[in-house]
A and B are shown apart, each in its own frame.
Chain A
Amino acid sequence: MIEIKDLKKSFGELQVLKGIDLTVNNGEVLSVIGSSGSGKSTLLYCINALEPIDSGSILVDSISVHDKATDVNKLRQKIGMVFQQFNMFPHLTAQENVALAPRKVKKMSKKDAMDLAARQLEHVGLGEKVDSYPSALSGGQQQRVAIARALAMEPSYMLFDEATSALDPELVGEVEDTMRMLAKEGMTMILVTHEINFARDVSDRIAFFHQGRMEEINSPDQLINHPASEHTAKFLSNVR
């Protein structure tokens, strides 16, 4: 379970998160929507301690993420993250990309890690691309490798930071399908996304962020068809 309490975060003068309270239950898929600069990506970076916070708290399985005593390297193994930019390591093959962290962080033997990587790549439908370098893969395939790479650490949570928004339109589908598959398998996920239709299909709840606040959180049907806030309604009418 991820419990966020009164989370505040600023970049210099600019306060990007103005007190967020949010709980994500195990097995839940939560989508976060909102215009650029609403703080939704920052939220994800705070959850796995890639960004420090100003005040409030984030508990992941009751462990306080930003507590000085917390071993963030250990904590991050629980929390997989896929970024907007394609972040495959360009000097490694797909299989080596996936096997790297299990080898170095979990100290698996090379053979076990490579086997695990092959299985994970198979899982995201890239079984025949194990030996390909990123330069030989499409953006969609690279994102799926990034998903397999995060899954290889056997995380309890997956964070997706606009994982499809840098993709060519015809490649969005394959990555969404992979995310959909994870959701079906019961992975707890937070998706920051601009794809409202995808969010509606895959999510248990959708949160709408507006200027650093969580304006509204509700079931997809309620939030999209009967938004309670005028900001939500305005945002939805603009993106559709």
Chain B
Amino acid sequence: MDYEFLWRPVFQALPQLLKASLVTIEVSILSMAIGLVIALFLFFARDSNVWFARFFANIWIEIARNTPALFQLFFFKFGLGAIGIIIDSYITVVMALAFNTAGYMAETFRGGFKAIPNSQLNSARSLGMTFVQAQCYVVIPQVLRAVWHPMTNQFIWVMLLTSLGMLVGLRELSGETQFLYSKTFRAFEFFAVTALIYYCIAKLMLLLFRLIAWRLFRGQ
């Protein structure tokens, strides 16, 4: 073993890596936000008395949770590509991760909604609120609190999953690292530093979530 560490190329490429980190963060936030909204719809669809809505939601959740995220991504990129629907890598990754996370969060929401007694909905309705108002102002804020921790985990998980982007040509953090490594052949150095950056992003997001929770749930 006479591998010599050479860190200089990594340091020189640091601005590029940090710029790519922004793409990673962007994609994470977008896919999580879209995924959360869809997850809510999936939850209500599965609870509805329209059989088609239930059927659709169930299929979505089953596929999202029981097939590899990588295959889901490939479906949106190459599967749709094969039938002539070509989508930009950035959007593909957002779509695939939103699809995946919606499935997981729909399950998590189910537990969260179950934790809120029906009497909360009843008392909101008895004040004249519509079903949607009662959900938005009374039930969902409580559900949000109940699912906060699993949701935080899911967010970190989605952020790490964005690294799949490099397989469909997205220059997020992993894609960029792959690109730089192929130019310099400093595999270990590049991936070590990138791992460290991922770690820092994760910690930063955790901190952010904790701050939001502190602001949102004080007094309770």
Residues of A that sit less than 8 Å from B by CB: 48, 50, 73-74, 76-77, 79-81, 83, 85, 87, 89-91, 93, 100-101, 104-105, 133, 135-136, 146, 149-150, 153
Closest CB-CB distance, B128 to chain A, in whole Å?
A: 4
Q: Chain B, interface size: which category?
A: 20 to 34
Contact between B127 and A150, CB atoms less than 8 A apart: yes
Nearest 8 pairs of A and B residues by beta carbon: A101-B127, A87-B123, A77-B128, A81-B126, A133-B219, A105-B128, A76-B128, A91-B141
Within 8 A of A (CB), among B109-148: 117, 119-120, 122-130, 133, 137-138, 141-142, 145
Q: A50-B122, A83-B119, A104-B137 are in contact. List 18 more A-B contacts (CB 8 A).
A: A48-B126, A50-B125, A73-B125, A73-B130, A74-B128, A77-B128, A81-B123, A85-B119, A89-B124, A89-B138, A89-B142, A91-B145, A91-B220, A93-B219, A100-B127, A101-B127, A101-B129, A149-B127
**29 pairs across A/B with beta carbons < 8 Å?**
A48-B126, A50-B126, A73-B125, A73-B130, A76-B125, A76-B126, A77-B128, A80-B126, A81-B126, A83-B119, A83-B126, A87-B120, A89-B120, A89-B142, A91-B145, A91-B217, A93-B219, A100-B127, A100-B138, A104-B133, A105-B127, A105-B128, A105-B133, A135-B219, A135-B220, A136-B219, A150-B126, A150-B127, A153-B128
Q: Which residue of A lies closest to B217 (CB)?
A: A91
B120 / chain A contacts, CB cutoff of 8 Å: 87, 89
Q: Which residue of B lies closest to A51 (CB)?
A: B122
Closest CB-CB distance, A103 to chain B, in whole Å?
A: 9
- Decide if the interface of chain B is mainly helix, strand, loop or mixed: helix
A50 / chain B contacts, CB cutoff of 8 Å: 122, 125-126
Contact between B129 and A104, CB atoms less than 8 A apart: yes
Q: Which residue of A lies closest to B216 (CB)?
A: A91
Q: Which residue of B lies closest to A150 (CB)?
A: B127
Contact between B142 and A91, CB atoms less than 8 A apart: yes
Q: Which residue of A lies closest to B116 (CB)?
A: A90
Contact between A133 and B220, CB atoms less than 8 A apart: yes
Q: CA–CA, A104 to B135, complex, Å? A: 12
Contact between A100 and B137, CB atoms less than 8 A apart: yes
Contact between A146 and B219, CB atoms less than 8 A apart: no
Q: CA–CA, A208 to B3, complex, Å? A: 91
Closest CB-CB distance, A147 to chain B, in whole Å?
A: 12
Q: CA–CA, A85 to B137, complex, Å? A: 19
A77 / chain B contacts, CB cutoff of 8 Å: 127-128
Mark B162-203 against chain A: 1 for CB-CB distance below 8 A, else 0: 000000000000000000000000000000000000000000
B128 / chain A contacts, CB cutoff of 8 Å: 73-74, 76-77, 101, 105, 153
Q: CA–CA, A101 to B125, complex, Å? A: 10
Closest CB-CB distance, B171 to chain A, in whole Å?
A: 41
Contact between B127 and A153, CB atoms less than 8 A apart: yes
Q: Which residue of A lies closest to B144 (CB)?
A: A91
A90 / chain B contacts, CB cutoff of 8 Å: 142, 220
A87 / chain B contacts, CB cutoff of 8 Å: 119-120, 122-123
Q: Which residue of B lies closest to A104 (CB)?
A: B133
B142 / chain A contacts, CB cutoff of 8 Å: 89-91
A76 / chain B contacts, CB cutoff of 8 Å: 125-128
Q: Which residue of A lies closest to B117 (CB)?
A: A85
| Contacting residue for A79 out of B117, B124, B126, B130, CB 8 A | B126
B141 / chain A contacts, CB cutoff of 8 Å: 91
Closest CB-CB distance, B125 to chain A, in whole Å?
A: 7
| Contacting residue for B129 out of A48, A73, A79, A150, CB 8 A | A73
Q: Which residue of B lies closest to A90 (CB)?
A: B220
A100 / chain B contacts, CB cutoff of 8 Å: 127, 137-138
Closest CB-CB distance, A31 to chain B, in whole Å?
A: 20
Interface centre among A87, A93, A105 (most CB of B within 10 A): A87
